[in-house]
Amino acid sequence: MSRLILLLVLVACAARKPLDAPPVSPPAADGDVDGDGIADAADSCANEPEDKDAFQDDDGCPDADNDDDGTADAVDKCPTEPEDKDGFQDDDGCPELDNDGDGIRDAADKCPNEAEDKDRFQDDDGCPDPDNDGDGVGDATDKCPAQPEVRNGFMDDDGCPDATPKDSDRDGRPDFDDPCPNEANTTNCLYGPAKAKQPVDRDRDGFPDGSDKCPDEPETKNGLKDGDGCPD
């Protein structure tokens, strides 16, 4: 009988859990369905693997357009800088701060898609100026691009202001175009002021312009067709 009691005591002691034994924890929930290295419990997209592109890689979700500019990262040349959508190269995904590349940023450039011509005339506005002095003669052919032409009928196509042409008789007609530069008579001076009503003869060859085939070229009087008013 004593042996039976001893056996029961030993069995009871063996089954008793030691007081200093650590508690047993439940199995950890460390599943990773999409295999992206982020446990499902912390993965915002447990069924889609993170794309590991150094952009929000800890949320577990793939980011197809990091900068959210509408251009997918796969074709976006600047995936972390949003396109500025200004109508200039908007399909590359990169913001263009100086569309025309003239050194003046679009924010201050009055002509963002036309490069400044850098000719020291209003170069800070960003616009090319094809006629700096505004005289109607383009800078490319204007001999005085910073000085407007004076429209006085004298060399008006060179773009340079010209001193008022000489007008010896002060009749309002410059000498270079006055058949009577020394007489205040813009009509005819071949016979002097008293004969001012005589027919006009601009080339002063004796043949009135009305019958002169070459009214601006004097007859040469060489015996060859001397009656037509043309030099032969």
Supply the DSSP string of 164-224, one letter for each residue. Answer: PPP-TT-SSS-GGG-SSTTTT-SS--TT-GGGTTSPP-TT-SSS-TTT-SSTTS----SSS
Query: CB within 8 A of 41, min separation 6: which ones?
Result: 29, 30, 31
CA atoms of 88 and 84, how far apart (whole Å):
9
The structural domains of the chain, with segments of one domain joined by +, span 64-96, 100-129, 133-164, 166-203
Bigger pLDDT: 223 vs 2: 223
pLDDT at 26 over 80: no
CA atoms of 169 and 179, how far apart (whole Å):
11
Query: CB within 8 A of 196, min separation 6: which ones?
Result: 185, 187, 188, 189
**C-alpha 40, offset from chain centre:** 52
**Token pair recorded at residue 205:** 């060859």
pLDDT at 28 over 50: no
pLDDT of residue 202: 79
Q: CA-CA distances (angstroms) from residue 224 to 5, 33, 81, 208?
A: 168, 113, 86, 19
**Token pair recorded at residue 7:** 């056996």
pLDDT band at 150 (very low <50, low <70, confident <90, very high): confident
Largest CA distance in the chain: 177
pLDDT at 78 over 80: yes
pTM for the full predicted model: 0.41
Give me the amino acid identity at 30: D
What tens digit of pLDDT does each residue of 95-128 get? 999 999 999 999 999 999 999 999 989 999 999 9
